[in-house]
């Protein structure tokens, strides 16, 4: 009886490990696609499946129409237009590109990404990949005064509704 209980326990632990391996990886930034296991164009239920129940939900109306946001610790998922993910923002240090870039990385490190463009204006210090045009995808790295990444955002540039 004790042996059977151990076999069941080991089988249950193996199933948990295998299901965790099949879940989209968190801790990964995929430029132009997503981060923390969330990808652009996911539905609200798909996001909840990956990240669980949000700590908060905010809804409203802006220049581009109606939206809502799922709020998680140091992570924000935006649904502009209410249907699918249009932006994901993080200030988590655990989210990284395959080359290890993320919050805390230097501007010099980020500038090594192929196709990156950087802007340094009075109130804006950021680098981005993509085209800042309506309907196009963009990945943005925002910096503090010390030229360290403070936030990463992946999104679709909104179109006016």
Structural contact between residues 107 and 120, judged by C-beta atoms closer than 8 angstroms: no
All residues at 6 or more sequence positions from 69 whose CB lies less than 8 Å from its CB, including other chains: 57, 58, 59, 76, 77, 78, 79
Task: Examine residue 3 and state whether it is found in any structural domain, yes or no.
Answer: no
Mean pLDDT of 107-113: 95
Mean pLDDT of 113-122: 89
| Number of domains, the chain | 1
- Note down the domain range covering 139: 26-156
Looking up residue 96, the CATH number of its domain turns out to be 3.40.33.10
80 backbone φψ class: left, alpha, beta (φ>0; ψ -120 to 50) = beta
Strand order in the sheet with 34-35: 29-30, 34-35, 38-39
Structure confidence by residue, pLDDT tens digits, 67-77: 999 999 999 99
Structure confidence by residue, pLDDT tens digits, 5-52: 444 433 443 444 333 333 344 579 999 999 999 999 999 999 999 999
Structural contact between residues 70 and 54, judged by C-beta atoms closer than 8 angstroms: yes
Please state, rounded to an integer, the average pLDDT across all residues of the chain.
86
């Amino acid at each position: 009886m004790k042996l059977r209980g151990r076999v069941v326990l080991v089988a249950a632990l193996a199933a948990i490990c295998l299901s965790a391996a099949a879940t989209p990886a968190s801790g990964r930034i995929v430029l132009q696609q997503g981060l923390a296991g969330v990808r652009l164009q996911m539905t609200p239920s798909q996001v909840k499946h990956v990240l669980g129940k949000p700590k908060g939900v905010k809804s409203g109306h802006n220049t581009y129409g109606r939206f809502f946001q799922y709020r998680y610790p140091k992570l924000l998922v935006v649904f502009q237009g209410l249907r699918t993910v249009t932006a994901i923002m993080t200030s988590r240090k655990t989210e990284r590109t395959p080359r290890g870039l993320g919050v805390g990385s230097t501007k010099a490190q980020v500038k090594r990404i192929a196709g990156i463009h950087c802007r340094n204006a009075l109130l804006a210090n950021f680098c981005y990949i993509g085209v800042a045009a309506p309907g196009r995808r963009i990945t943005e790295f925002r910096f503090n005064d010390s030229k360290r990444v403070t936030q990463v955002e992946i999104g679709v540039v909104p179109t006016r509704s």
